[in-house]
């Protein structure tokens, strides 16, 4: 079982669901339906069979659009089991579908510009892999999973290393991963380009400023824009000529979507 799922079940169930055990016969079988109560992009469906430890019928797949009132998945099992795991299942589905829905909104906002939207490491502790899967299901591109799989030299690295050139040279000496570096001034920009940096992160510029910097870069490096990116302004940043726009809002500010669980009683087991 996924460690996160196990921990979530242990957190909620503890020593047992005392309410269900008290009022529902152990032999009672039931059917459960997960319903979208608003338009959304669904994600997290792969967790349901882990949560219930029984086959689940999926009527949608991660990344699918759901209309209000549509059934997303169904499951049949003892009623006690369905009820004791209902909240955990909904917590995962609502949270991850929220991330996927936000991701789809951002991806749709830059459609036709040639710019790709990146997610970030601004994720819920312990849920990064799941939230990044949900972001990808929504249509954005996953950036690095952690500090271990890509080089990103930020302003504090530059300060600690003693400058742009020193930071780039030390990273190059340490390995062969592609280098992305954040630049905050025109001087840093020109120094990074002179050092052959292939991916530049431009932070906290206006769309007009970003367009001016992109013109100076003139295709000599990939350009990523970040900082203050919202659903209202992301297209203006994309149209500034960026290759990528990154935003933490996809994960840190995603709203949990409205999904419900409906129980229907079946026959009791003999």
Q: Which residues form the catalytic set?
A: 87, 122, 154, 182, 203
The pairing of beta strand 56-58 with beta strand 71-78: antiparallel
Which 8-state DSSP code applies to residue 123? -
**What are the tokens at 160?**
């600690």
Taking the chain, what is the end-to-end CA distance rounded to the nearest angstrom?
Answer: 29
Q: What share of the chain is helix, strand, coil (3-state, %, to 5)?
A: 40, 20, 35
Asked if 145 and 111 count as a contact pair (C-beta separation under 8 A), the reply is no
Measure the CA–CA gap between 191 and 248, rounded to whole angstroms.
28
Q: How many helices (H) and strands (E) does the chain have?
A: 12, 12
């Amino acid at each position: 079982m996924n460690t996160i799922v196990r921990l979530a079940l242990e957190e909620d169930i503890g020593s047992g669901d005392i309410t269900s055990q008290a009022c529902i016969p152990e032999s009672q079988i039931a059917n459960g339906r997960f319903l979208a109560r608003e338009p959304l992009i669904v994600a997290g469906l792969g967790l349901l069979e882990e949560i219930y430890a029984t086959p689940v019928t999926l009527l949608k797949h991660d990344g699918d659009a759901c209309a209000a009132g549509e059934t997303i998945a169904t499951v049949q099992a003892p009623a006690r089991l369905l009820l004791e795991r209902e909240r955990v299942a909904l917590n995962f589905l609502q949270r991850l579908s929220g991330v996927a829905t936000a991701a789809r909104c951002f991806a749709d906002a830059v459609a036709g510009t040639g710019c790709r939207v990146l997610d970030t490491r601004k994720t819920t502790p312990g849920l990064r892999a799941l939230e990044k899967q949900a972001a990808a299901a929504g249509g954005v591109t996953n950036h690095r999973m952690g500090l271990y799989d890509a080089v990103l030299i930020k302003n504090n690295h530059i300060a600690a290393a003693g400058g742009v050139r020193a930071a780039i040279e030390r990273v190059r000496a340490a390995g062969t991963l592609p280098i992305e570096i954040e630049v905050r001034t025109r001087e840093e920009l020109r120094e990074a380009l002179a050092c052959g940096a292939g991916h530049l992160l431009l932070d906290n510029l206006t769309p007009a400023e970003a367009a001016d910097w992109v013109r100076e870069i003139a295709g000599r490096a990939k350009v990523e824009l970040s900082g203050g990116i919202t659903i209202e302004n992301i297209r203006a940043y994309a149209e500034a000529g960026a290759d990528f726009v990154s935003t933490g809002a996809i994960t840190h500010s995603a709203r949990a979507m409205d999904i419900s669980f409906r129980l229907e009683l079946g026959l009791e087991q003999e």
